[in-house]
Structure 1
């Protein structure tokens, strides 16, 4: 069941759309990535060589209000591979990385943001083991959202203009790296810092 949080007493109502029963999709996961049962939120790269492998979530990001999810970097061998958190359409191959192709988007541990019909953007915070990375879209402005450990990054003017359905995704490159998804409702990023007077709507 999806949970929604809306800003009351505002003619331009914003909603934080949360798919609380979302999880990584075992039918849409590269064969060298292993999903931990029963909740299918944690994934490890079990391959033997450094090469990009991606998994998509079962449900797409909602296309109204604000869609958002977070990923905790559980285990990461910094310097020996890459981890990316982002959004991709169903059509993207699972043996490439989020952000490589048009209409795919990704924030990587190196501090690079990919997508937006350009090569990449430098200068964003790097991340490593223990960090929590958030990703989403504010459909009112069509701006992408990235957070690190609850703090929103400055991504104004980075727009999502595709008409394709986008799915939460994570890309791993290094064998042994582990991440765990959080599809809500309790996030590291506090949306009360953005919206006051939030109410839950069933």
Structure 2
């Protein structure tokens, strides 16, 4: 029994030692498993962290991708706008190039036309200058024999006077007849008077010849008279009137010559004025001036034919004439041979019998007066009038 117990104890100790080893092994495995579990948990946490980071990254990437897409869309829109703007610029460039080419073409044509006109004017001026020079030379050649004739006449006159005086002196010594001496003196005086009359006649012939020559030169356009400007004189214009148009022929109230009236209701005077006339007075109101008024009056004429009256109780006028207004063409002139004044309306001569300009008047010039604001006329000083009569 003791041996069995001892054997049992020995076997128990051995099994206990084996069991202890097994426990130790199990503990080691448990420790390993715990460490492995910790490692797995650590890896799991790391994996979860990476998953979260990956999810955050994906979310951020989606947001940035959307923003990038928006930016790309904006850039594409701008690119399309730039392309359209580029096309517009190209079209404008082509149009501007065509316009510049047309302008250069028109400018070249205008320059050629202007050069041609200048050449024609230069040729005409040279031709007229040569004609004038030839006429002057002929006039000088004609003047030479005339001067020689005058010198001869003066010499003959002096010789005759000397001869007559000598004869009288001789007759005084030999002739005691006072009556005969008186007759000879009378004869001498008559001879001298006839010589003076002859000399005056020759001088008048010379003057007439000069006038005829100058008139012929003027008719041919080669005279010495300067052509008048076909425009109003801006220095003789009231401050309330404005001149406009390419040739400054249009006069408007702002504050033979023809004029065209633009307004139906107007207060216009058209006629002839003098340099001494004040600019703030109407033509026809001042002494020595004459006018045709839009209300149908002739002003400035001292005529009593049953229609005579006074305008503004101070200015003589002839009433009952044709009125004029917008669209009418009114003319005014003077017959230089008779000094009779001429008025016309739309090409028809009005009755001006007995209406003369004063022979003592100074040089007259075309004049127009506009009384109402907005009154406007256009002048035509010739030579191409709308109506001819």
TM-score w.r.t. structure 1 length? 0.71
CA distance in 2, matches of 1:37, 1:145: 27
CA distance 1:26–1:189, change in 2 (3 Å): same
CA distance in 2, matches of 1:187, 1:165: 23
Kindly report the root-mean-square deviation, in angstroms, between the aligned alpha carbons of the 2 structures: 1.7
Aligned residues: 151
CA distance in 1, matches of 2:245, 2:233: 12
- Corresponding residue of 1:99: 284
CA distance in 1, matches of 2:357, 2:273: 11
- Unaligned regions of 5+ residues in structure 2, if any? 1-218, 220-226, 304-315
- Corresponding residue of 2:326: 129
Deviations 1:122-152 (A, max 9, x none): 1110000000000000011110000000000
Q: Which has the higher helix share?
A: 2
Aligned 8 A contact 2:230 2:247 in 1: no
Question: For 1:89, which of 274, 284, 292 is the aligned residue?
Answer: 274
TM-score w.r.t. structure 2 length? 0.37
- Corresponding residue of 2:372: 174
- Corresponding residue of 2:247: 39
Deviations 1:54-110 (A, max 9, x none): xxxxxxxxxxxxxx1101102x251xx510100000110011101112210000111
- Corresponding residue of 2:232: 24
CA distance in 2, matches of 1:145, 1:20: 21
Greater Cα shift, 150-159 or 161-170: 161-170
Ranges of 4+ aligned residues in structure 1 off by more than 4 Å = none
CA distance in 2, matches of 1:21, 1:89: 18
Larger-gyration structure (1/2): 2
CA distance in 2, matches of 1:26, 1:93: 14
Structure 1 position 22, deviation (Å): 2.4
Higher relative contact order (CA 8 A, sep 6+): 1
Structure 1 position 167, deviation (Å): 1.0
CA distance in 1, matches of 2:365, 2:239: 18
Q: Which has the higher strand share?
A: 1
CA distance in 1, matches of 2:280, 2:361: 23
- Corresponding residue of 1:152: 349
Deviations 1:17-54 (A, max 9, x none): xx66321111110011000043110011011xxxxxxx
